[in-house]
Chain A
């Protein structure tokens, strides 16, 4: 029997779709771990990135530190955290949050710094406070990069949440680890397919969220930018502040 036939049969077996070890429950566990970890990581990393980007101070240091964090293997973190905290969700949470923080901080900081200084000056000139500048100008302009960071993190978290099974928790990693232990190759591959499918679905879902939450002005200008060529791009909408052209 070929492996692929085995995989098809694995998915077709009704026993794999119900109960504690069924696909729905494993997907639910996997999504739960990933969601909690991602939300916590966003809650930690987004404010840090925004403050650093807004003030422009300490950014290089923060990026270097958070890139250092990227270099630590999740596999090592989960074993260390297990030794300290024992069996439970905590080691998984620590591992996934540590994995998710660096891309969010880095992308948020870079996105904020990429805001045109002239735009920032203009907003200040209009009398905007720092908070208004952040909320009304910098964040909307930086949104695509911030969201890209979050997407990267969440997809990585979903792929890595398989490690939870390594310390006896649930999630889709169970199929991979149990299948390996039981020499059940179709189960290993089915588990891997499910993880990959979940990660891709999330990637597409978040991309849709990103488009939907993009500031209307930016959305239009990026559409215009895509469609238009040459001189048209330079033409600002009527009524908008027009920067003086240098001779």
Chain B
């Protein structure tokens, strides 16, 4: 009953102009994040147009396995967190917490994979001063800290079927960070 009531509320919000997943503040942050990365992408593409050989040779030295593993980790953790939101909507609080824990564990694989990649690069003499990739790691770290915070709140009953905007806000941020990685992945690991 409660889940149906919440879904009806969502229909009303949609009729008023559309839903805001999570809250407005989070979407201001996500929009700023998109603008920041859009500027970095422009810098990347201008540099690539001017020095195509350097980019081609550099990309060939990066580990495609690392890039693929990070992509699969990002996509999978995003999927688990989306499942956490949907199960919460259905009123299955315990399942929602389990999905969130799974999302956190998989998300933690990203910094680990990145650390291994950087260590491997340094062993080959690549100094790893790549701002775009590090910047994404910083954003992902904020996301992981956010998952931890939401998990603590969720474990102590902070969310309900009627009000789980905090969980949805975190999910939106993590999905946006996932979208950014999906753009970065081919730029460094596919187009060698």
Partners in one complex: no
